[in-house]
Structure 1
Amino acid sequence: MHFSIPETEVRSGENGSTYVAYNIHVNGVLHCRVRYSQLLGLHEQIKKEYGSNVVPSFPPKKIFTLTPTEVEQRREQLEKYMQAVRQDPLLGASDLFNSFLRKAQQETQQIPTEEVALDICLSNGQKVTVNVLSSDQTEDVLDVVATKLDLPEDLVAYFSLFLVHEGEDGGLTFVRKLQEFELPYVSITSLHSTQFHILLRKSYWDTVYDADVMDNRVGLNLLYAQVRSGFVGRTVQGVHLSSRVSNQTVSDIERGWILVTKDQRRQLKSLQEKGSKKEFIRLGQTLKYYGYIKFDPCATDFPEKGCQVIVGAGNNELNFHVKLPNEQMKEGSFKVTRMRCWRVTSSQVPMASSTNGPCPSAKCDVKLELAFEYLMSKDRLRWVTISSQQAIMMSICLQSMVDELMVKKSGGGIKKMLRKRHNGSTQRPDCQQAVKSPPLLDSPDQSCEQIIKLSTKLSSVSLRGISASNSANDMGAIDFHGNYAFEGIGDDDL
């Protein structure tokens, strides 16, 4: 997740005094508004719980009122602090940190704790309405949805809640996976738009796990609905999510996310008419792009600057459908195991009606980029950049792929991806918490032999996306984490 504090506000307190509020954005959207004293209180709690040696440095108190320059310096320091805490495997998953963000989100949006009705969309277009508390966190809401659908407790970890945006043509854009530090009802309500929905969808990538889901009637129906809707066409014109009743296999087919030949389409139609859901899904598993998430058209600098691209995430890779400047179409894939590191950056870009240079946020667009360093051949690394408003969602997809690899490599299954503590919070698996990022190679020009020496020493997998300051544009200005999944290859593997 991309944490930033791009702006501050001077607000009035209860006694008429004023104070500086720091606006914490997640993925470019305001999550909460907090005071310095609140963040200091969080810092003191974390330090008491985990010790001073693991907590990042915190900007010191000031005796006198801060000047505008000092406010800006503190904003930058607090932004770095929030990013450092979130990126730490222990602190970022702690209940202290996540409960602080949930409480701050609720206070910022001024939504009282009360029982509310929340609509959850399924991949077939149907809605499930559940009664929850407005203060219920993501995991609690997911549990309530599972109970409403009669989905067994041991299958809940196979599904997640996603925030999606519905276009005018009925097509869906994935905004993000709802996280443990947010309140779904508050998140959806604060958007003030009927075009945003919360969608229940499978949250794993490895098709091996399909067998577990299909053994249960409810799990089978959910998976069938997702897969079937991806085969038939890119979008369904004029039909909206709230009114569509088609059948995650189902929706992926209808959107054109999975490629199908005429013969395969006939087979799928026959299986659908017979109600042979398991056979339908098994045939779907053999098709190209099964289980992928497709993103909106965007821009890339690969193979050259100015190329338009449609990116898909799945099968431990990012797939590119690139339109070159000469109108020629090319397709290729980037394996996650050959990404040495990656980062997400954001920057403020003046709107057409605004002047050049720094500008108020109201007159700026936020530009998001995902950049990863890729092993093109045994001795050649190259940066590839994607400019997309869904860059953070792409990063989340990459991270979850590697999380699966890590769990699988440690001998576990998807149920170990997240586990509940006794107090109800969630934490990452032991194998992930124990992992620290390996040292990076000194230079992109290192030899294959050095790369292989690095990768063969690693016994587990970890890849951590990097959140950069919204003012950063230079790759060299940012710290990178290494990738335990990074593998040395030969030219004949390309």
Structure 2
Amino acid sequence: MHVTIPFTQDLVDSFGSRYVLYSLYLEGFLFCKVRYSDLHKWNEKLRRQFGKSVPPFPRKFYLAMTNSMAEERRFQLERYLQSVGANPIISSSELFVCYFKNLQMDTFGIEEQKANLDIYLPNGRKIRIDVQTSDSAERVLEIVAHKLDLHRELTGYFSVFVLQHHSTVLKRVVDFELPYVTLHGMNNGSLTLEVRKWYMDPSLDKVLFDSPASVTLLYLQALQEIDRRWARPTNEQLGKLESLEKSGNYTKFLELMQDVQQYGCIQLDLCTMDHPEPDCEVLVSVGNGELHCCVKLSNNTTKDIAFKVNMIRCWQVTFLGADLEDRKPPDDQKLELRFEYNAAGTWKWIVIYTKQAFLLSSCLKKMFSEELLKHTKDSLEMQIEVPDFTKARTSSKSHRLVVPFGKSTERSKISPRSNINGPFPEITEEDL
């Protein structure tokens, strides 16, 4: 979860007292506005419930703040909220979720009431669901899963995303975030909500093969990736995929997709990078353990560069400049993601300038977590021994396996079909 406070406002209340209003951005977009005093009261409640697990709260100033003091407080509040949000026990609590639900609704002037919300599938099909404006992304996903006959235990492999023009992925909607309010707050008629898989390791597809609804969702997204040229099958692979599509064998289709270049990746819009030379135009695809960059050089040639995630030491996202207003459209956001990479034994900082920097950071975090879980599982499997029942029973340690829970030659001729076999076509618009 990326929480930032890039902007503040100096205001005067009805009693003539001056105060600062902090603009909280979640995953790069305005989430809510809040006063220091309100956060302080909330912190006191957190400390009563969670004790020392709550990080220190920025201290009060009893005299007028200088500019440097105000900047220090802004930075400390940002760090505090990031730390609180990183604690899964706190961030999943009712005290946390309800507080930010109310803040988000109050900031955008949304009342709690019944509403319709349109959720799209990767093939462009719209599902209209009945929700409360206060329903979280987690709740919205559960409603959609019920409509699609997707087992509740599998929803963790999917998530709700905000897309622009049905093609540019802008952000993942965080579980406690309110999709209805988020869409309203972003104030852009070209934005839609779409259900997509939320893992960066394509090999995890096989975990979902026993679920017809999951297979259908994965299949639709695979078609979308080919159609947009995010995934790039060879001519031979394309012929086999077309044959499997016609036969309706979606599981085999997905198994073959495992070998397709850049399958399962999210491709960013065209952006710029400072490597291997300044101001290069670049198409960035993230997934399957790497950042794949197709770079256009100053001599009009192109070069493919793959940055392996396990060679990245750290990264950070930065807002560039202070001219971003709360309601500006995403296209005007000035962001950069810089990462430190080990190339041939030498550490080097590489910078990507993209409005999707927070999405890119989320994908990097997801890949790191999947790699960590994979190594943990492999390590634990090596430690498991077959018990010797011939020996006397003694107390022994048990090992618990950790399972991950939600890793071109020509334009594809494959296009999404509305009459595919599976659970989704049985649902009519009237049923929804």
Whether the TM-score (by the shorter chain) exceeds 0.5 is yes
**Aligned partner (choices 322, 327, 336) of residue 369 of structure 1:** 336
Q: Which residue of 2 aligns with 1:239?
A: none
Q: What's the offset of the Cα at 1:182?
A: 1.2
**Aligned partner (choices 172, 175, 188) of residue 170 of structure 2:** 175
Gap change, CA 1:302 and 1:343, over 3 Å in 2:
same
Q: Which residue of 2 aligns with 1:321?
A: 294
**C-alpha contact (below 8 Å) 1:407/1:431 kept by paired residues:** no
Gap change, CA 1:350 and 1:15, over 3 Å in 2:
closer
Q: Which residue of 2 aligns with 1:259?
A: 232
Q: Which residue of 2 aligns with 1:383?
A: 349
Alignment deviations for residues 297-352 of structure 1 (CA, whole Å, 9 cap, x no partner): 1111111222111110111111111111111211121111111111112221669x
What letter corresponds to residue 410 of structure 1 in structure 2? T
**Aligned partner (choices 246, 263, 269) of residue 242 of structure 2:** 269
What letter corresponds to residue 344 of structure 1 in structure 2? V
**C-alpha contact (below 8 Å) 1:119/1:129 kept by paired residues:** yes
Q: What's the offset of the Cα at 1:181?
A: 3.4
1:219 aligns with 2:217: no
What letter corresponds to residue 342 of structure 2 in structure 1? L
1:189 aligns with 2:184: yes
Gap change, CA 1:68 and 1:361, over 3 Å in 2:
farther
Alignment deviations for residues 68-90 of structure 1 (CA, whole Å, 9 cap, x no partner): 77545533432333234334565
Counterparts of 1:58-73 in structure 2 under 5 Å? Answer: 58-63=57-62, 71-73=70-72
Aligned mates of 1:180, 1:348 — CA distance in 2: 30
Aligned mates of 2:148, 2:249 — CA distance in 1: 21
Aligned mates of 2:346, 2:365 — CA distance in 1: 24
**Aligned partner (choices 284, 299, 303) of residue 330 of structure 1:** 303
Gap change, CA 1:394 and 1:113, over 3 Å in 2:
same
What letter corresponds to residue 108 of structure 1 in structure 2? T
Aligned mates of 1:219, 1:145 — CA distance in 2: 12
Aligned mates of 2:86, 2:278 — CA distance in 1: 31
Give secondary structure in 2 for the equivalent of 1:7.
strand
Q: Which residue of 2 aligns with 1:347?
A: 320
Alignment deviations for residues 375-398 of structure 1 (CA, whole Å, 9 cap, x no partner): 112x31111111111111111001
**C-alpha contact (below 8 Å) 1:348/1:366 kept by paired residues:** no
Gap change, CA 1:350 and 1:66, over 3 Å in 2:
closer
**C-alpha contact (below 8 Å) 2:97/2:176 kept by paired residues:** yes
Query: Unmatched 5+ residue regions in structure 2?
Result: 379-399, 405-432
Query: Unmatched 5+ residue regions in structure 1?
Result: 228-249, 352-358, 413-429, 433-460, 462-494
Gap change, CA 1:73 and 1:153, over 3 Å in 2:
closer
Q: What's the offset of the Cα at 1:148?
A: 1.1
Gap change, CA 1:269 and 1:187, over 3 Å in 2:
same
**C-alpha contact (below 8 Å) 1:349/1:365 kept by paired residues:** no
Give secondary structure in 2 for the equivalent of 1:325.
coil
Alignment deviations for residues 105-133 of structure 1 (CA, whole Å, 9 cap, x no partner): 11111111111111110001101111111
Q: Which residue of 2 aligns with 1:2?
A: 2
Gap change, CA 1:278 and 1:331, over 3 Å in 2:
same
What letter corresponds to residue 30 of structure 1 in structure 2? L
Aligned mates of 2:82, 2:133 — CA distance in 1: 27
Alignment deviations for residues 355-411 of structure 1 (CA, whole Å, 9 cap, x no partner): xxxx9998x95421111111112x311111111111111110011112112223333
Gap change, CA 1:216 and 1:81, over 3 Å in 2:
closer
Give secondary structure in 2 for the equivalent of 1:190.
helix
Alignment deviations for residues 125-148 of structure 1 (CA, whole Å, 9 cap, x no partner): 101111111111111111111011
Aligned mates of 2:100, 2:293 — CA distance in 1: 35
**C-alpha contact (below 8 Å) 1:406/1:431 kept by paired residues:** no
Q: What's the offset of the Cα at 1:290?
A: 1.0
Q: What's the offset of the Cα at 1:288?
A: 0.8
Q: What's the offset of the Cα at 1:25?
A: 1.8
What letter corresponds to residue 367 of structure 1 in structure 2? K
Aligned mates of 1:212, 1:75 — CA distance in 2: 43
What letter corresponds to residue 399 of structure 1 in structure 2? K
**C-alpha contact (below 8 Å) 2:159/2:198 kept by paired residues:** yes
Gap change, CA 1:95 and 1:336, over 3 Å in 2:
farther
Q: Which residue of 2 aligns with 1:152?
A: 151
**C-alpha contact (below 8 Å) 2:377/2:401 kept by paired residues:** no
Q: Which residue of 2 aligns with 1:208?
A: 203
Aligned mates of 2:303, 2:340 — CA distance in 1: 20
* TM superposition score normalised by structure 1: 0.70
Aligned mates of 1:36, 1:154 — CA distance in 2: 39
**C-alpha contact (below 8 Å) 1:115/1:132 kept by paired residues:** yes
Gap change, CA 1:313 and 1:67, over 3 Å in 2:
closer
Question: CA RMSD for the aligned pairs?
Answer: 3.0
Q: Which residue of 2 aligns with 1:446?
A: none
Aligned mates of 2:150, 2:88 — CA distance in 1: 30
Give secondary structure in 2 for the equivalent of 1:75.
helix
Q: Which residue of 2 aligns with 1:118?
A: 117
* TM superposition score normalised by structure 2: 0.80
Gap change, CA 1:286 and 1:70, over 3 Å in 2:
closer
What letter corresponds to residue 388 of structure 1 in structure 2? T
Q: Which residue of 2 aligns with 1:164?
A: 163
Q: What's the offset of the Cα at 1:151?
A: 0.7
What letter corresponds to residue 139 of structure 2 in structure 1? D
Aligned mates of 1:14, 1:183 — CA distance in 2: 30
Aligned mates of 1:89, 1:117 — CA distance in 2: 30
Give secondary structure in 2 for the equivalent of 1:348.
coil
Aligned mates of 1:172, 1:91 — CA distance in 2: 34
Aligned mates of 1:32, 1:184 — CA distance in 2: 13
Alignment deviations for residues 228-286 of structure 1 (CA, whole Å, 9 cap, x no partner): xxxxxxxxxxxxxxxxxxxxxx1111001111233332322222222222222222222
Q: Which residue of 2 aligns with 1:143?
A: 142
**C-alpha contact (below 8 Å) 2:203/2:258 kept by paired residues:** no
Aligned mates of 1:144, 1:361 — CA distance in 2: 30
Q: Which residue of 2 aligns with 1:424?
A: none
Q: How many aligned residue pairs are there?
A: 381
Aligned mates of 2:179, 2:71 — CA distance in 1: 31
**C-alpha contact (below 8 Å) 1:348/1:365 kept by paired residues:** no
